[in-house]
């Protein structure tokens, strides 16, 4: 924010720091270990009076001088240049905080330079004792440089009490100081052994060469073992937050940790082989291979350390985007562009339609380019974001840094966030927004026969779910296709009665809806006073076209097979779940369904965030294998949040701040809400709550069951419509749902804007299962299915049109004769029936 940006694309993403720093620090460690190696080799040559070993020590010193002083000095300047350009905020913080520490290190570095020059150029002119003293001084100055830099580098990962005290000594002698110092000291010995292999290939005397190779092998092998042990101490000494990031939370750390063990083991074996099998045939190429393997060991360690402090450059102080954490609240309110002192002039007025592209490009450089390149070798951005359209990218940026804290949060206004999302999704990846297609236009169906003068029975039906949405393919089952058809048969009379004896009610799905006939019999649920059947109906007609509103014909017959009544209703079903907006892929067919690629992306994401191995599972992944789901009959799994709580909890973090259009309808089928509530302007959130509040209600119930993880997810969510989380009442999905009578007090016209936070007591209180004041007729029998109460779409209205020739609840407007055969002058079923 305070400094101009070094605009990098292909070679961005920390490429130059990774390249220069890894090589420099490898050589710097060699300078420390090599200093000790030199003076001990010289001492061994004097003791054994071995002129070949002494000559090797001298030549090794020349190699040492060129590598550590020439390359090391130049690359050290390169590090300062790159970090100053790529991470100026963190660099200036380190300089201000440790100015005397840096000064002391530069004094030690000057001591290294002087002593090494004297050591090399006075080799044949100094007394042996004095020459050895200079060598020891060089090693001492080198190790003190390591001592000082270790404190500063360790501070960046584990600042400890400095966060409160801002004391130089608290920052320098930070929680990981001593373990890191021991680790780096042993690693310096490994570096000395590895470089020693390379230079030992030039020793002409075979016995001396064999002896030197075995000495180098001892330095390497014993050093690697010590590195493993001290590395365990190093990680164990981390404060809890950093320890969790390295050991549990960061998938990148886990990846580099694998490389660390692979390269460490390979370096150990290489060191052994050099001593036991190849000293006589040692070649420069073989020595160089082992040296490069050692570079892999050190590089993986450096990446572990770097990844372990994410999302910060200086833990809890400076984000990896070089933004001070303390300034985030102000920047979020003021805007990132307005807070950046070097923003382009054309962005001075904020994000507009005219400058949105330029704003997105600038925001990418400001908040992303420090870690991500564009078509380059380091953390390439397009490959990592190719799965997102604009809305998906915006959702990812919304939740970035909240659940998975490896990345910093997006810092800025919602308009700036959308500009960045558009730049990444549209300009870099060419992904335009993808909207779910609307339900197909369908003609009004013909009603089943009914004659109010002669028909003896009325057959009514509804579904337990207003939309039986599902997601299933040969890779996974999130929700299987399912809906419950319910029905009641009534004998028409001035005092009508339900018929539940000697009656069979069957269903038949319209023939074009499936490849094979879907027919069956509804079973009597005597306690509930209804017939019902669970049916899995595909949302496609035979030619493959999407049809979420298939018609079902109900037929009631007596014991002799005589047809008593028929009726038609819609059994809504859809797999139009928009997972691909964020999880790659596309619609499977005709604007519906999930592809295998989408599911695989979801499973990989789940594995990365939860340390699972679902993507490697053979066969179909069943979500209920781990998560409860009452609608699927899976209960009492206390190890994981239930399916609804887990999905809505995680997605609430990424969908925060959005209404129904930007959250619910990005995932759920577009045709879920079709009835009277939609017609008067209600949306999903008016009953179920904003996605944040909905998620909190579900997670609170899981937290009360002591389910691990529920509290962790809930801690990342801020309520939208209520003042705090304590005000939101817990609920169980599919059982505790919004109560209709919250708004429709005494069945009257609604007197509230929202039914959120007043839940049905149990499943019997749900709209689709509730009965009237006479405990006889179900609400759904007269009003239709949930989310599609009459009047709804022409297909949903087929039943009231059959019995009343108008799309209203059965009996509305004085049409009691549907069942009673004569007009009624009092509301028998519930108050406010509208008998006029």
Cα torsion at 318, 323, 326, 330 (round to 10°)? -170
**Do 13 and 353 contact (CB within 8 A), yes or no?**
no
Which three-class secondary structure state does DSSP give residue 137? helix
**Do 263 and 208 contact (CB within 8 A), yes or no?**
no
Q: For residue 368, give the DSSP letter.
A: T
Predicted confidence at residue 404, as pLDDT, reads 81
User: What's the rounded Cα separation, in Å, for the pair 626 and 644?
Assistant: 12
**Do 443 and 431 contact (CB within 8 A), yes or no?**
no
| Angstrom distances, CA of residue 743 to CA of 390, 405, 752 | 37, 41, 5
- pTM, rounded to two decimals: 0.87
Cα torsion at 641, 647, 651, 653 (round to 10°)? 0
Predicted confidence at residue 14, as pLDDT, reads 86
User: What's the rounded Cα separation, in Å, for the pair 208 and 372?
Assistant: 49
Cβ-count burial of 726 within 10 angstroms (0-12 exposed, 13-18 middle, 19+ buried)? exposed
Q: For residue 464, give the DSSP letter.
A: S
Cα torsion at 28, 32, 34, 38 (round to 10°)? 140
Which residues pair with residue 461 across a beta bridge?
487
Q: List, in order, residues 6 or more apart from 66 with CB less than 8 Å away.
A: none
User: What's the rounded Cα separation, in Å, for the pair 136 and 116?
Assistant: 10
Predicted confidence at residue 285, as pLDDT, reads 82
Beta strand 457-463 with 530-535 is: unpaired
| Angstrom distances, CA of residue 426 to CA of 12, 390, 537, 802 | 20, 7, 37, 50
Cβ-count burial of 318 within 10 angstroms (0-12 exposed, 13-18 middle, 19+ buried)? buried
Range 325-428 has CATH code 1.10.760 = yes
Predicted confidence at residue 250, as pLDDT, reads 66
Q: For residue 631, give the DSSP letter.
A: G
Could you tell me where the DSSP H helices lie in 585-688? 596-610, 643-654, 664-667, 676-679, 684-688
CA atoms within 13 A on the CB side of 358: 14
- Provide φ and ψ at 582, rounded to 5°: -120, -20
Residue range(s) of every CATH 1.20.1630 domain in the chain: 15-318
User: What's the rounded Cα separation, in Å, for the pair 366 and 370?
Assistant: 8
Q: Which residue in 356, 469, 508 sits closest to 421, CA to CA?
A: 356
Which residues pair with residue 597 across a beta bridge?
none
Q: For residue 734, give the DSSP letter.
A: T
Q: List, in order, residues 6 or more apart from 216 with CB less than 8 Å away.
A: 192, 193, 194, 196, 197, 200, 271, 274
| Angstrom distances, CA of residue 644 to CA of 592, 628, 786 | 21, 8, 19
Predicted confidence at residue 146, as pLDDT, reads 96
Predicted confidence at residue 421, as pLDDT, reads 96
Predicted confidence at residue 821, as pLDDT, reads 86
User: What's the rounded Cα separation, in Å, for the pair 335 and 317?
Assistant: 20
Predicted confidence at residue 835, as pLDDT, reads 47
Dihedral over Cα of 113, 114, 117, 120: its sign? negative
User: What's the rounded Cα separation, in Å, for the pair 69 and 77?
Assistant: 12
Residue 557: its H or E element: strand 551-558
Predicted confidence at residue 450, as pLDDT, reads 95
The torsion region of residue 663 among left (phi > 0), alpha (psi -120 to 50) and beta comes to: alpha
Range 15-318 has CATH code 1.20.1630 = yes
Low-confidence ranges of the chain (pLDDT < 50): 835-836
Residue range(s) of every CATH 1.10.760 domain in the chain: 325-428
Which residues pair with residue 525 across a beta bridge?
530
Encoding tokens for residue 656?
């925060």
Count of CB atoms situated within 10 Å of the CB of 558: 14
User: What's the rounded Cα separation, in Å, for the pair 131 and 115?
Assistant: 10
Count of CB atoms situated within 10 Å of the CB of 136: 17
**Do 72 and 63 contact (CB within 8 A), yes or no?**
no
């Amino acid at each position: 924010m305070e400094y101009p940006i070094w605009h990098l694309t292909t070679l961005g993403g920390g490429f130059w720091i990774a390249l220069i720093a890894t090589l420099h620090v490898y050589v710097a460690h060699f300078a420390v270990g090599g200093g000790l190696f030199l003076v001990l080799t010289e001492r061994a040559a004097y003791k054994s009076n071995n002129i070949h070993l002494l000559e090797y020590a001298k030549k090794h010193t020349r190699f040492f001088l060129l590598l550590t002083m020439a390359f090391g000095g130049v690359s050290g300047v390169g590090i300062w240049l790159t970090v100053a350009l790529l991470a100026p905020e963190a660099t200036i913080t380190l300089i201000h905080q440790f100015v005397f520490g840096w000064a002391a290190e530069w004094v030690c570095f000057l001591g290294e330079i002087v002593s090494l020059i004297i050591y090399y150029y006075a080799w044949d002119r100094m007394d042996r004792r004095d020459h050895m003293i200079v060598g020891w001084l060089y090693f001492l100055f080198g190790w003190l440089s390591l001592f000082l830099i270790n404190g500063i580098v360790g501070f960046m990962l584990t600042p400890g009490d400095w966060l409160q005290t801002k004391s130089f000594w608290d920052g320098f002698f930070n929680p990981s100081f001593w373990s890191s110092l021991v680790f780096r000291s042993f690693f310096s010995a490994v570096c000395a052994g590895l470089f020693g292999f390379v230079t030992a290939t030039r020793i002409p005397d075979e016995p001396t060469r064999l002896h030197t190779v075995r000495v180098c092998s001892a330095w390497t092998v014993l050093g690697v073992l010590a590195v493993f042990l001290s590395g365990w101490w190093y990680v164990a000494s981390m404060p809890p937050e950093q320890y969790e990031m390295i050991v549990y939370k960061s998938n990148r750390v886990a990846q580099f940790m694998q490389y660390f063990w692979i390269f460490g083991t390979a370096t150990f074996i290489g060191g052994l082989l050099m001593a036991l099998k190849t000293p006589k045939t040692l070649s420069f190429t073989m020595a160089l291979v082992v040296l490069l393997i050692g570079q892999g060991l050190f590089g993986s360690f450096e990446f572990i350390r770097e990844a372990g402090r994410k999302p910060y450059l200086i833990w809890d102080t400076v984000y990896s985007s070089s933004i001070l954490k303390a300034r985030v609240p102000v920047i979020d309110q003021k805007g990132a562009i307005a807070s950046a002192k070097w923003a382009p002039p054309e962005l001075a007025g904020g994000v507009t339609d005219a400058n949105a592209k330029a704003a997105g490009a600038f925001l990418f450089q400001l908040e992303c380019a420090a870690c991500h390149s564009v078509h380059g070798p380091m953390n390439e951005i397009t490959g990592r974001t190719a799965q997102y359209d604009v809305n998906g990218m915006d959702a990812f940026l919304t939740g970035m840094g909240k659940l998975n804290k490896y990345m910093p949060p997006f810092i800025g206004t919602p308009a700036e966030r959308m500009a960045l999302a558009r730049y990444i999704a549209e300009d870099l990846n060419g992904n335009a927004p993808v909207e779910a297609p609307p339900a197909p236009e369908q003609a009004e169906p013909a009603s089943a026969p009914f004659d109010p003068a002669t028909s003896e029975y009325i057959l009514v039906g509804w579904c337990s779910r207003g939309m039986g949405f599902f997601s299933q393919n040969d890779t996974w089952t999130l929700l299987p296709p399912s809906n419950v058809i319910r029905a009641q048969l009534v004998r028409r009379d001035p005092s009508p009665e339900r018929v539940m004896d000697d009656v069979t009610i069957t269903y038949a799905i319209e023939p074009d809806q499936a490849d094979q006939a879907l027919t069956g019999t509804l079973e009597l649920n005597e306690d509930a006073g209804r017939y019902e059947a669970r049916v899995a109906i595909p949302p496609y007609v035979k030619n493959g076209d999407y049809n979420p509103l298939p018609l079902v014909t109900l037929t009631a017959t007596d014991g002799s097979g005589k047809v008593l009544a028929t009726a038609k209703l819609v059994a809504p079903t859809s797999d139009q779940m928009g997972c691909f907006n964020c999880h790659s892929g596309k619609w499977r067919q005709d604007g519906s369904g999930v592809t295998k690629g989408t599911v695989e992306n979801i499973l990989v994401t789940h594995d990365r965030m939860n340390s699972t191995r679902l993507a490697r599972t053979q066969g179909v992944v069943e979500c209920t294998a781990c998560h409860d789901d009452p609608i699927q009959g899976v209960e009492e799994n206390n190890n994981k949040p239930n399916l609804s709580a887990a999905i809505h909890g995680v997605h609430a973090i990424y969908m925060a701040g959005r209404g129904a259009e930007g959250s619910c309808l990005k995932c759920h089928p577009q045709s879920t809400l079709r009835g009277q509530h939609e017609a008067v302007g209600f949306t999903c959130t008016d009953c179920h709550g904003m996605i944040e509040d909905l998620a909190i209600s579900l997670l609170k119930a899981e937290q009360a069951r002591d389910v691990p993880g529920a509290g962790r997810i809930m801690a990342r969510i801020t309520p939208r419509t209520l003042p705090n989380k304590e005000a939101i009442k817990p609920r169980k999905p599919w059982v505790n749902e919004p109560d209709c009578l919250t708004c429709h007090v005494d069945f009257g016209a609604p007197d509230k804007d929202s039914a959120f936070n007043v839940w049905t007591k149990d499943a019997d209180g749900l709209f689709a299962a509730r009965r009237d004041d006479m405990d006889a007729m179900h609400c759904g029998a007269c009003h239709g299915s949930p989310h599609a109460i009459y009047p709804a779409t022409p297909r949903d209205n087929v039943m009231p049109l059959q019995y009343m020739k108008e799309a209203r609840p059965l009996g509305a407007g004085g049409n009691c004769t549907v069942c009673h055969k004569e007009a009624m002058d009092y509301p028998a079923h519930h108050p406010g029936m509208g008998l006029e």
